[in-house]
Amino acid sequence: MAILSKIRDRSMFLILIVGLALFAFVLDPSSIQQFFSATKTNSIGEVNGENIDREEFARLVENYKSQSGGRVTQMQAVNAVWNNLVGEKIFQSQLEQAGIVVGEKDIWDAMVSLPEIQNSPLFKNEIGLFNEEKLKEYIANMKADAEAGNNQAWLNWLETEKSIKQNLERQAYTTLVSAGLGASLKEGERDYLYQNTKMDAQFVYVPYASIDDEAAKVSKKEIQEYLKKNSKRFKSEATRTLEYVKFDIVPSEEDEENTRMEVVNFINDREEYSNAANAKVQIPGLKNAENYEAFLNDNKSDLGIDNGYYYKNQFPPAIADSIFSASVGNIVGPYNDNGYYKISKIVDFRQLPDSVKSSHILISYAGAVRSASVKTKEGAKKTADSIFALVKNNKTKYAEIADEVNTDGTKGKGGDIGWIRKDQAFSAGFDKDFADYIYKNPTGSMAVVETAFGFHVIRVDEQKQAERAVKLATFARLMDPSEATENNIFEKAETLMANLANDEKLEDVAKKENYNVQSAMNLKVLEENIPGLNGQRQIVIWAFAKERKLGDSKRFDVDVDGKRSYVVVVLKGKSEKDGLVVNADILSKIQPELINKKKAAMINAKIKGTTLEEIAKNTNATVNAASSVTLASPLLSGVGNEPVVVGAMSTIKLNEVSKPIEGDKGVFVVKVNKRDTLIKLDSYDTFRNKIINNLKGRSYMLFQVLEETAEIKDFRGEFY
């Protein structure tokens, strides 16, 4: 009865066990293991035993992506958030041990001293001076907005406060560590001797290059033994090596001709049956069209209206002459341009500048490119409009406000950006909205223009070197592969997969079918970019799957720079974390070392004699001289930098022939004829201080050292 009572008491526990046992029939056994190890499932990593919660990490990643305005990839966001969290946790433990605390007043003082705060018109009084009360009022309003549901600006402000606190803490810690760095007077004396002790010597030098590499071959066994002895030096991250064949889904010649013929039909007027009119109707072609935007929309052009003006050198050479020799109203084409077949109507010719000199005042906001501002977008626009009203008729005021507000290279120059050539303005590195304004408006124009960086009050100051430019109305049709073409390309990729499944080698099939096999060497678990394919995170995840074996293959549908392709990938190499990896890079380091070791032994066997002259004769070498050599500058005349040899020269007895010394470039036998006896100094403070300053100058390495000594577990590769 007692046993039955205990069973009754534990009935819910038994139901759970029985349920799990039943699930074991239909689930992989690892599922039950994961059930009982939920801690790891909810962890993205650990720093010194402190867990990083996966859900919290995911939220921070999404916030980071949102604040970047979609300008970063998933893995760039993941890595940035990881580095921030790891740095935060590493420093936090150090701060606690050091007893460093940053108070609210410290944070506030640092906050109000920021140039963005001090120079903002929002926080200035009637006479243009910074007013702390206006800043407090601004913060209070942000908090009130957050309580009302509009919390983005408030969250950005809190992040700014957090960042300032972290910077103050780290500065305090770095200062504390730097204060503890020192050197003794004995170290100063040693540095004095190191820098100033000069030596004269004679030496015999037998270079490794005097022996052919073939005579000192290194076996595979010797390389393996060397790797085993130096395993710590060559341990690495887990890596995967892939080979792949890419099948681009591109139109055939027949597809291109069909597209060209389709575009031709839009030049002249045509008749089409209209269900609405129950009769044939006349549809104007581009030649007779007057409303170009409506024409392109009605006929479903693959490119919309473009009201820009373009110079001759901006067109393909094959069509540029035809365009610039035509008259307004003429049709040019059809012509092939960047994957489209086009017909263009000459709308207008105009003289446009080759370069423009302009100025700007930038009001950025939270989330804009390279912005540290806490302003909302609406607040930034309001400020920009207010500034525009102040400066639109006052050049002096414009320069004053630009120098007060701008934080870029135009600060102190009245906002002057200088001369920008058209090719610079419309390049990838320059903002298109800014370029459009300064090139499409005459000298003296001024306006508030929104760009990726915020709101600019732009002024066009000068323009020069006008060139003839053309405005076109262009109907375009993208040359897409037909269904038959795409099916044919898909079939090729699937056939390759079938051949690989039948144990055929990728290189053999590629040679037979004239495919181009490309490689991606030593990919790491968190990488997303594959050479030749750009960002293809799904392929890296596949390669690192636990069940993946060498020789496994798979077909992937990929998009590379907007162009679709099929990629057949084969796993050609894999190494696990801290495993020994023998690759071309490592062999290029190991082999010369081992070959030189063998050559040194062969040279040592030839070194016979008690004088340098005898040794030189036996080794077919000469006796050389070295003068005024120091440990700080270990250069041997006719040889080069040899720190090991010069280091030996500093300790061997004067006028005695040394034993063979294996240097960087060969084997040496040395006799030191003279070694300076330096005057003792009253104080070695100068040299000690130099050592201390060098140590403090390396304080930037502090985080790197802390990171190397921390125990970090990284599970990112299992979730992203």
Angstrom distance (rounded) from CA 256 to CA 342: 12
Share of the chain above pLDDT 90, in %: 46
Please state whether the peptide bond connecting residue 334 to the residue before it is cis, i.e. omega within 30 degrees of 0: yes
Instruction: List alpha helices for 392-456, DSSP H.
Output: 395-405, 422-425, 432-440
CATH code for the domain in which residue 388 is found: 3.10.50.40
Q: List the beta bridge partners of residue 518.
A: 244
| Domains: count for the chain | 6
Question: CA triplet 264, 265, 267: central angle to 5 degrees?
Answer: 70
The residue among 154, 135, 134 whose CA lies nearest residue 144 is 154
* pLDDT tens for each residue of 325-376: 999 999 999 999 989 999 999 999 988 888 999 999 999 998 888 887 878 8
Q: Do 396 and 366 belong together in one domain?
A: yes
* Residue 565: inside a domain: yes
The residue among 129, 126, 92 whose CA lies nearest residue 112 is 129
pLDDT at residue 128 is higher than 90: no
Please state whether the peptide bond connecting residue 115 to the residue before it is cis, i.e. omega within 30 degrees of 0: no
Angstrom distance (rounded) from CA 386 to CA 230: 68
* pLDDT tens for each residue of 225-258: 887 777 666 666 788 999 999 999 999 999 999 9
pTM given for the model? 0.59
* Residue 184: inside a domain: no
Q: Do 298 and 329 belong together in one domain?
A: yes
- Structural domain span for residue 637: 199-236+584-675
Q: In the 8-state DSSP scheme, what is residue 377?
A: H
Last residue of a domain, one of 437, 463, 489: 463
Q: Give the other-Cβ count within 10 Å of 517's Cβ.
A: 15
Last residue of a domain, one of 527, 542, 575: 575
One-letter amino acid identity for 541? Answer: I
* Residue 685: inside a domain: no
Q: Do 640 and 561 belong together in one domain?
A: no
Question: What integer pLDDT is reported at residue 40 of this predicted model?
Answer: 54
Give Cα 422 to chain centroid, integer Å: 28
Question: What integer pLDDT is reported at residue 71 of this predicted model?
Answer: 80
Beta strands in 28-157 (DSSP E): 43-47, 50-53
- Cβ 322 vs Cβ 331: under 8 Å: no
* Residue 192: inside a domain: no
Position with higher pLDDT, 61 vs 10: 61
Angstrom distance (rounded) from CA 246 to CA 113: 55
* Residue 274: inside a domain: yes
One-letter amino acid identity for 111? Answer: M
Position with higher pLDDT, 622 vs 123: 622
Angstrom distance (rounded) from CA 585 to CA 237: 14
b/e code 689-718 from CB counts within 10 Å (16+ = b): ebbbeeeeeeeeebbeebeeeeeeebbbeb
Q: Do 571 and 591 belong together in one domain?
A: no
Token duo for residue 470: 């053309």
One-letter amino acid identity for 235? Answer: K
The residue among 379, 364, 356 whose CA lies nearest residue 459 is 356
Confidence of residue 608 (pLDDT cuts 50, 70, 90): very high
Last residue of a domain, one of 433, 463, 493: 463
Mean pLDDT of 512-534: 91
* Residue 82: inside a domain: no
pLDDT at residue 204 is higher than 90: yes
Q: Do 628 and 641 belong together in one domain?
A: yes
* pLDDT tens for each residue of 139-160: 888 888 888 888 878 888 888 8
Angstrom distance (rounded) from CA 548 to CA 551: 9
Q: Do 341 and 361 belong together in one domain?
A: no
Query: 657-665 — which CB contacts under 8 Å span 24+ positions?
Result: 657/610, 657/611, 657/612, 657/615, 660/600, 660/603, 660/604, 660/607, 662/596, 662/600, 663/639, 664/640, 665/205, 665/207, 665/208, 665/209, 665/639, 665/640
* pLDDT tens for each residue of 3-49: 333 333 444 333 333 333 334 434 444 443 443 344 456 899 998 88
* Residue 99: inside a domain: no
Q: Do 660 and 595 belong together in one domain?
A: yes
* pLDDT tens for each residue of 656-666: 999 999 999 99
Token duo for residue 122: 């929002």
Question: What integer pLDDT is reported at residue 7 of this predicted model?
Answer: 31
Question: What integer pLDDT is reported at residue 238 of this predicted model?
Answer: 84
Angstrom distance (rounded) from CA 380 to CA 386: 10
Mean pLDDT value across the chain = 85
Position with higher pLDDT, 125 vs 583: 125
Question: What integer pLDDT is reported at residue 25 of this predicted model?
Answer: 36
pLDDT at residue 276 is higher than 50: yes
Angstrom distance (rounded) from CA 657 to CA 670: 6
Position with higher pLDDT, 630 vs 590: 630
Q: Do 605 and 650 belong together in one domain?
A: yes
Question: What integer pLDDT is reported at residue 372 of this predicted model?
Answer: 75
Position with higher pLDDT, 360 vs 98: 360
Q: Do 370 and 308 belong together in one domain?
A: no
Mean pLDDT of 625-640: 92
- The DSSP-derived string for 275-320 is TTTTEEEEE--TTT-S-HHHHHHHTT-SS------B-GGGS-HHHH
Q: Do 245 and 221 belong together in one domain?
A: no
Question: What integer pLDDT is reported at residue 719 of this predicted model?
Answer: 86
CATH code for the domain in which residue 668 is found: 3.10.50
- Cβ 540 vs Cβ 523: under 8 Å: yes
Q: Do 532 and 509 belong together in one domain?
A: yes
Q: In the 8-state DSSP scheme, what is residue 719?
A: T
* Residue 503: inside a domain: yes
Question: What integer pLDDT is reported at residue 581 of this predicted model?
Answer: 55
Q: How many CA atoms lie within 13 A of 140 on its CB side?
A: 6
Question: What integer pLDDT is reported at residue 32 of this predicted model?
Answer: 38
Question: What integer pLDDT is reported at residue 367 of this predicted model?
Answer: 82
Strands in 239-248's sheet, in edge-to-edge order, are: 517-524, 239-248, 563-575, 553-560
- Cβ 391 vs Cβ 401: under 8 Å: yes
Q: Do 210 and 267 belong together in one domain?
A: no
